[in-house]
Amino acid sequence: MQGKPVKFLYLSEPEMIEAGVLDMKQCVQVVDEVFHLLGKGDYLMGGPRENEHGLMIWFPEEKRFPNMPVEGPDRRFMAMIAYLGGRFNVCGEKWYGSNIVNPKRGLPRSILTVMLNDADTSEPLAIMSGNLISAMRTGAVPGVAAKYLARPGAESCGCVGAGVINRACLMAIKEGVPTLKRATIYDLDMEKAAAYAKEMSALLGIDVVPVGTLKETIVDADVISVATAGASKALIPEEWLKEGSLLTLTGTAELTDETYLNNTVIADNWKMHQAWLTEGEEHPKGVESILSWAPSAPIIKLILDGKMVHDDIRSLGDIASGTVKGRCCDNERIVFVTGGMPVEDVGWGYQVYQNALKKGIGQELKLWDEPHWF
């Protein structure tokens, strides 16, 4: 029997842009599809629980060998794998590397690649630059959440953090909330906030205004988008949250226990956060090993303390697919917590790959014309 040739498409970042990776309207539609599939159960992620965020290299606290990296802020390597069903029917992986000092070297903090494979034969379909896939799908999630969870007729958005991710978040929230008319932006760097406001006003055709305090961007907002990183977390008292508001946590914020206990808490996929808890329980340092970085750490701690139970938290996929109810009333305050999932990278990466095929974009590479052994 003659062996089969295997070829795949390579897509650089400029080619990804040409193929539409920055099209937020399409990205929100695709990520919405992904959440429908999550709600139906037509997906798999890593591990025996089928819901692992990814497999991470845990660097040691102290150097063991001259070249071995040590633990540090946002210092990680992670393989994030998934199968996504429906029309996608594809397996894939996001390979994630991150180092907080990278910008001083002229590099993004995270450097990512995405690989897609045929779900049956395992043949590679594409290897592509992953930074823009990741940023766009991350921003699309609060947009999908806002579609299902924002108060009807919501008009205002408060943005905390003027980085790349909150640009994507506001773009997506505008897609998810067509009634949005205005936004405010707060950042510790006022110059960044002003630049963000100017750029997003022109891009979205809404009034985006920089403000000087965190409170100003929270108190009158129907939707709040927190997308910050680092040791310093935004402190948001419960009384700042307007009745009927939706607080989306793409980054971390410091909220009181009462904010979680007194309001509705919804996660992107709570099964994934439960897997984090199990991972922490298996770690030599115990659950404390995840509490410093897991976005759902405050909720996990409340569960461990017996103040909440897992069933208190609903998942966005169940709401998108109609399995459970989302917003119950106009004055309900909702806290939405997201941790990011490889199914989102696979879904958006697959769509951009399909766009590239239709447009004839990318470089065809081969593994072999005929396998040496088979």
CATH for 149-341 is 3.40.50.720
- Strands (DSSP E) contained in the chain are 6-11, 43-45, 55-56, 76-84, 90-98, 110-118, 124-129, 156-160, 182-186, 207-210, 223-226, 234-235, 246-249, 253-254, 264-267, 314-315, 334-337, 363-368
- Specify the 3-state DSSP secondary structure of 30: helix
pLDDT surpasses 80 at 263? yes
Cα separation, 277 vs 287, in Å, equals: 7
Domains in the chain: boundaries:
6-134+343-368, 149-341
The pLDDT confidence band at residue 230, using thresholds 50, 70 and 90, is low
Quick one: average pLDDT of 226-248?
90
Query: What is the third-level CATH fold of 6-134+343-368?
Result: ornithine cyclodeaminase, domain 1 (3.30.1780)
pTM reported for the whole predicted model: 0.94
Please list the residues that pair with 67 across neighbouring strands. Answer: none
DSSP string, 247-305: EEESS-EE--HHHHHHSEEEES-HHHHHHHHHHHHHSTTTTHHHHTT-TTHHHHHHHHT
pLDDT surpasses 80 at 240? yes
**At which residue do the structure tokens 């579609």 appear?**
147
Cα separation, 199 vs 115, in Å, equals: 32
pLDDT more than 90, % of the chain:
83
pLDDT more than 70, % of the chain:
98
Quick one: average pLDDT of 22-39?
98
Contact 16, 363 (CB under 8 A): no
> Torsion angle of alpha carbons 146, 248, 305, 262, nearest 10°?
-70
pLDDT given for residue 346 in this prediction: 98
Contact 126, 349 (CB under 8 A): yes
H or E element at residue 36:
helix 24-40
Contact 296, 276 (CB under 8 A): yes
Q: How far is CA 176 from CA 115, 172, 223, in A?
A: 28, 6, 11
Cα separation, 150 vs 154, in Å, equals: 7
